[in-house]
Chains A and B, each alone.
Chain A
Amino acid sequence: MTTVTDRPGYAAPAPAPGTEAGVLDLRSVNAYYRTFRAVRDVSLSLRPRAITALIGPSGCGKSTILRVINRMHETIPGARVEGSVVLDGVDLYRRDVSAVRVRRTIGMVFQKPNPFPAMSIFENVASGMRLAGEKKSSVLDGRVEASLRRAALWDEVKDKLRQPGTSLSGGQQQRLCIARSIAVEPEVILMDEPCSALDPVSTLRIEELMVELRQDYTIVIVTHNMQQAGRVSDVTAFFSMGDDRAGYLVESGPTSRIFSAPTEKLTEDYVSGRFG
């Protein structure tokens, strides 16, 4: 498992006895694009071995929150974050924590499948391990196969590992991207509308895969699809936008409760499709 600090010999503190790794805490997170505040004061706890769905109207900052979690937000010029994101007791925004390491511990799957066109299927999956310095081909071979199996793609690609990743269908490409992100053994996987570019059958397969991966990871998905949130997530967090267009957390809780008995009127309107 990778640690998130650059300090030699420093390892992320082991989770306290009885707790699991992969506990993620957002504490008073504000995210800005230059002077525009896109996310206002979000505090949210994410459970390991569970799928948390972030839902809410378009533009309410769901993608931004996801990118704050693995420190991708700061790659945009002028973007900054206030507050803290704590993974297993380590504040990911602490001075001595390296963003590069954070991204190895917290993987990301994007809206549009983005396999690297100049790399083969094998190299796509191996790319993260190579970045982490893995050179032994026996290790690479083993982990590539394991990751592809895990992503339910192995049987479809095992005979064409040398072909470009872009030769696959959209759904296969997205599963390749999932394989690529789990190959580096992260603790958390973030998925930003991973099915919005896919057909219903591929969507279903990805959903099955998410449920299957839940056993080992803390999973956060952004979705526009209420049915999808209902089908796969354990916890749902509903976001909305204030008058200043800053996104904020309206409420969060077990998915069944959010969908059947939300405490907020706003949430009820949204999940029942009266607002969107």
Chain B
Amino acid sequence: MDDRLRRLTRSGGRLLSADALFRRSTLVAVLAAGALLVLLFAVLVAQSWPIWADRGIVPFLTTPTWAPNYVDPVTGATSVQIGALPMIVGTVLSSIIGLVVAGPLGVLVAVFLVEYSPRRLAIGLTFLVELIAAIPSVVIGIWGLYVFSIFSRDTFQWWIASTIGRVIPFCAEDPANPTRFSVFTAGMVLAVMIVPMVVAVSREVIRSVPLSLREGHTGMGATRWETIRHVVLPTARIGILGGVMLAFGRALGETIAVTMVIGNVDQVPTSVFQPGQSIASKIATNLGDVTDQVELAGLLGLGVVLLVVSVGLSVIVRLLARRLGGAYVAS
């Protein structure tokens, strides 16, 4: 660049302008955050190296047992069986249950808040939803354990298992496990925790659909509901999807409430009404007192899996938001 030009463009080449200073400091902050993430990832991978190197990625991800000193029931031979499958299945199943319940519910609440509710009621309801978001996860865990799981076991759980559960995978009840601890309860606890997030994002996105589009449709002879269904929700869908996926990410990583209700059994559940284990709860409950080096590597390996999935998910959300028009996507 020509020297004269440089002087013109960069505050005469002397002092940094306030703007440039701000830009630089935010850049530094972003870089620092990025570096931290990379560092964290590197440390986790290094610490869990034995798992990846000795056992291999695929065996680690697909072995259905977690037993550092596994004794074969037939041959009596001992071996190391450290697999992430029970935790992966437990995490994914409970998060999906949370999402299946909280997603539609949250979007419906948001539609009601924006489109139907009188102002007063909307303010009250919004406050209520924010209140739910403020409940500590431990307390929601207690609710899951002492209120929800008992209610569910005594009422609709059996009904689900014996009717629609027969066609939906993972929903038949296992009669050998009449326990309150289950992947299902964990999922419901997660639903309560993420519903405020789904409501908040959906509400903003739905609100941002311009009045001109709604009027264009109503002006053609659409009822309120038809406009919501054919114009508002489709226009807002990318943003809503983004919010739901962020909520899913939150569910994947939730630890304490899940630990309290999932049962902490390292098995691949064949039904969501069985106890199971999630990645986060496995790490949290075992990391403190693990002595076996391979098991420690395995636990940190679980951390790598969770980190990759969570970061991957939010990258996908960002890409979605950018590719499919950022206009109606909450930032």
Contact = CB atoms under 8 A, between A and B. Distances in A.
Interface stretch (B228-236, B246-254, B308-316): B228-236
Contacts of A143: none
Nearest to B233: A118
Range of interface residues on chain A? 20 to 34
A117 B220 contact: no
B219 A107 contact: yes
Nearest to A2: B221
A112 B212 contact: yes
Interface string B246-268: 00000000000000000000000
Interface in B186-225: 210, 212-213, 215-223
Contacts of A72: 215, 218-219
A101 interface: yes
Given A72-B219, A131-B220, A180-B220, A116 B235 contact: yes
B212 A128 contact: no
Contacts of B223: 100
Nearest to B325: A117
Interface in A213-246: none
A132 interface: yes
Interface of B: 210, 212-213, 215-223, 226, 230-231, 234-235, 237, 325, 327-328
16 contacts: A2-B221, A100-B223, A103-B218, A103-B219, A103-B221, A114-B213, A116-B231, A116-B235, A117-B325, A117-B327, A117-B328, A118-B235, A119-B234, A128-B220, A131-B221, A184-B220
Contacts of A128: 220-221
A100 B215 contact: no
A69 B160 CA distance: 53
A32 interface: no
Nearest to B218: A75
A100 B217 CA distance: 11
Contacts of A131: 220-222, 226, 230
Given A131-B226, A184-B220, 18 more contacts: A103-B220, A104-B221, A110-B212, A114-B215, A116-B213, A116-B216, A116-B231, A116-B235, A117-B235, A117-B325, A117-B327, A117-B328, A118-B231, A127-B230, A128-B221, A177-B216, A180-B220, A181-B220
Nearest to B234: A118
A152 to B, nearest CB: 20
A127 B220 contact: yes
A127 B215 contact: no
Interface string A98-142: 001111100110101011111100000001101110000000000
Which of A102, A112, A117, A181 has the most chain B CB within a 10 Å cutoff? A117
A131 B218 CA distance: 10
A128 B216 CA distance: 10
Interface of A: 2, 70, 72, 75, 100-104, 107-108, 110, 112, 114-119, 127-128, 130-132, 177, 180-181, 184
A10 B284 CA distance: 70
Contacts of B231: 116, 118
Contacts of B226: 131
A168 B306 CA distance: 43
B219 A108 contact: yes
Contacts of A115: 216
B237 A118 contact: yes
A115 B235 CA distance: 11
A73 to B, nearest CB: 11
A119 B216 CA distance: 13
A110 B220 contact: no
A104 B220 contact: yes
Contacts of B235: 116-118
Lowest 4 CB-CB distances: which A-B pairs, in order?
A118-B234, A104-B221, A108-B219, A114-B216
B280 to A, nearest CB: 36
A127 B223 CA distance: 13
A171 B219 CA distance: 20
B270 to A, nearest CB: 40
Contacts of B325: 117
A199 B309 CA distance: 49
A24 to B, nearest CB: 16
A118 B215 CA distance: 15
A103 to B, nearest CB: 4
A108 B215 CA distance: 9
Contacts of B327: 117
Contacts of A70: 219
